[in-house]
């Protein structure tokens, strides 16, 4: 079968488009391995209009159009699916990804042009569609039968991730992606994912795709993929797991292998690590292996809020981890969230005070978003408090909108965001610290952060 993956042009920061969609690369890889034809049309990196995507897809004449989408991209994804279906009604389509997995029935009910939907992990499901298996026998599939929406049995998660072939990066024009990369030390740069799922219970986290438990690739399998990247000339790797160091022994074994192979690579962790799954021994090994950047999920500086969101980590442990990482010369970014459950104006002040106290290199403050598939979404949906205008569910939080009723008003959340930004980033000492600590990379980060702050301030 000829399968065409389509990603429409979306409103994203340039830094977001430095990465290929690794999920699509995995889906494409398993299809290629099983002798299917695969094409990827990425409207983001090519700045394609809807009509250019339509023409490119039509020229290739696929038998299946596949789209994977998050909540922040869902409106654009639905639009392009509808346009293609109207022009080529004979071509079947399938929608998957985190957003669809969180609200599959709603998506199918509201969008009659969707033929199939995939809930959860998609490799085996899309392969079975391409192989022509009877739709009623495909686990994880949503479809229409005599006009009625049918949700098949949930697909079990693959426990042995080593079974999946490495992602098919050859489907992407990689130079265009890492050419966009500003926040790197070396190029070419590629992303990898070494594990899936997270066992922790943070209420705002969507687990609809990868599930509520940790599954990991073996150190050997991870190192084999890294060797492949080295052979292809890559000099920097960004690890984009949800919880890379959940198994700290496995993490140490991976970086032992990196050190022993003498690859001289640079590593970054842009997605976030847990402070309680890092210690001095592991951090020291990571630094020796080439890790220069990491994000740490903190969320709030108020212990009451951390308890309310089931974060499961103390501020003391976070402070100690940041201190060690900073001592080792690793660039530390904190992920913080305004407007969380039980957060008040005083909570937001405590978050600012905590960030200033532990003095990370960067603090990324977003506004809480109840993504479908999260416990927070389910709780608010049951109370009738969810805003279903998906256009507001921006990944970059540029609108700074509060998407549900909480202890704080929307105005108070915006005020907290503005106050934090001003007092953290506009300190006279901040630019000098960045340059002294991180030299050229610090200067580059200052430029990127300033541009991002201006964009967010303007709401674009």
Say which DSSP state 406 is in: -
Same domain, 310 and 405: yes
Last residue of a domain, one of 132, 151, 170: 151
Q: What is the pLDDT of residue 17?
A: 85
pLDDT at residue number 398: 47
Same-domain check for residues 193 and 340: yes
How far does CA 273 lie from the centroid of its chain? Answer: 13
Q: What are the backbone angles phi and psi of residue 291, rounded to the nearest 5°?
A: -70, 125
Q: Which two tokens stand for residue 255?
A: 């970086």
Instruction: Compute φ and ψ for 196, nearest 5 degrees.
Output: -135, 145
Exposed/middle/buried for 247, CB within 10 Å: 0-12, 13-18, 19+? Answer: middle
Q: What angle do CA 72, 194, 293 make, to 5 degrees?
A: 75
Buried/exposed 51-80: b ≥16 CB within 10 Å, e otherwise: eebbebbeeeebebbbbbbbbbbbebbbeb
For the chain (460 residues), the mean pLDDT of every run of 10, in chain order, is 95 72 98 98 94 97 97 94 98 97 96 98 98 98 95 97 98 94 94 97 92 96 98 98 97 98 98 97 98 98 97 98 98 95 95 98 91 91 85 60 68 89 94 96 92 65
Q: What is the pLDDT of residue 409?
A: 83
- What total of structural domains would you count in the chain? 2
Quick one: three-class SS letters along 229-272?
HHHCCCCEEEECCCCHHHCHHHHHHHHHHHHHHCCCCEEEEEEE
Report the CATH number that the domain containing residue 102 is assigned in CATH: 3.40.50.2300
Same-domain pairing of 253 and 373? yes
Residue 419 lies in a domain: yes
Q: Is residue 163 part of a domain?
A: no
CA 341 vs. chain centroid, Å, equals 22
Amino acid 457: pLDDT: 62
Q: Say whether both 99 and 222 belong to one domain.
A: no
Q: Write the burial class of residue 166 (CB in 10 Å: 0-12 exposed, 13-18 middle, 19+ buried).
A: middle
Q: How many CA atoms lie within 13 A of 361 on its CB side?
A: 27
- CATH number for 303: 3.80.30.20
Tell me: do 117 and 211 sit in the same domain. no
Q: 403 lies in a domain?
A: yes
pTM of the model: 0.95
Question: How far is residue 268's CA from residue 333's CA, in Å, rounded to a whole number?
Answer: 11
pLDDT at 450: 84
Compute the distance between CA of residue 340 and CA of residue 203 in angstroms, rounded to an integer.
10
Cα of 435 vs its chain's centroid, Å: 28
- Output the pLDDT for position 403: 58
What residues make up the domain containing 122? 2-151
Residue 165 belongs to some domain of the structure: no
Domain presence at residue 161: no
Residues β-bridged to residue 239: 192
The 10 Å Cβ neighbour count of residue 439 is 10
85 and 229 assigned to the same domain? no
Tokens at residue 434, please?
């960045």
Query: Which H or E run contains 375?
Result: helix 375-382
């Amino acid at each position: 079968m000829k399968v065409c993956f389509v990603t429409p042009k979306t409103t994203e920061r340039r830094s977001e488009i430095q990465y290929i969609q690794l999920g699509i690369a995995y889906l494409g890889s398993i299809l290629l391995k099983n002798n299917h034809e695969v094409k990827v049309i990425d409207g983001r990196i090519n700045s394609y209009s809807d009509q250019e995507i339509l023409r490119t897809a039509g020229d290739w004449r696929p038998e299946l159009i596949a789209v994977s989408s998050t909540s922040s991209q869902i409106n654009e994804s639905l639009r392009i699916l509808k346009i293609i279906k109207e022009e080529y009604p004979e071509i079947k389509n399938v929608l998957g990804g985190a957003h669809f997995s969180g609200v599959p029935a709603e998506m199918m009910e509201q969008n009659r042009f969707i033929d199939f939907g995939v809930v959860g992990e998609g490799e085996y499901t899309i392969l079975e569609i391409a192989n022509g298996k009877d739709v009623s026998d495909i686990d994880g599939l949503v479809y229409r039968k005599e006009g009625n929406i049918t949700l098949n049995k949930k697909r079990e998660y693959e426990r042995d991730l080593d079974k999946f072939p490495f992602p098919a990066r050859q489907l992407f024009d990689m130079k265009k992606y890492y050419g966009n990369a500003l926040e790197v030390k070396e190029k070419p740069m590629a992303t990898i994912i070494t594990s899936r799922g997270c066992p922790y219970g943070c209420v705002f986290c969507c687990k609809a795709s990868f599930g509520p438990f940790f599954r990991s690739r073996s150190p050997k399998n991870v190192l084999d993929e890294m060797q492949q990247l080295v052979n292809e000339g890559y000099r920097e790797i960004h690890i984009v797991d949800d919880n890379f160091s959940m198994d700290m022994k496995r993490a140490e074994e991976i970086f032992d292998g990196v050190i022993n192979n003498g690859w001289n690579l640079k590593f970054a962790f842009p997605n976030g690590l847990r402070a309680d799954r890092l210690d001095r021994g592991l951090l020291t090994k990571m630094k020796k292996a080439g890790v220069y950047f990491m994000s740490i999920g903190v969320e709030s500086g108020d212990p009451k809020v951390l308890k309310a969101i089931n974060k499961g980590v103390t501020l003391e442990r976070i402070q100690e981890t940041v201190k060690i990482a900073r001592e080792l010369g690793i660039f530390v970014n904190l992920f913080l969230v305004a407007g969380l459950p039980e957060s008040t104006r005083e909570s937001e002040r405590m978050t600012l005070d905590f960030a200033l106290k532990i003095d990370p290199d960067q603090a990324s403050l977003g506004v809480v978003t109840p993504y479908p598939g999260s416990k927070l979404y389910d709780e608010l949906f049951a109370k009738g408090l969810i805003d279903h205008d998906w256009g507001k569910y921006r990944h970059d939080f540029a609108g700074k909108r509060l998407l549900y009723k909480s202890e704080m008003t929307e105005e108070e959340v915006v005020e907290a965001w503005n106050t934090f930004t001003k007092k953290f980033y506009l300190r006279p000492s901040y630019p000098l610290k960045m340059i002294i600590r991180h030299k050229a990379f610090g200067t580059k980060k200052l430029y990127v952060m300033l541009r991002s702050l201006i964009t967010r301030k303007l709401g674009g």
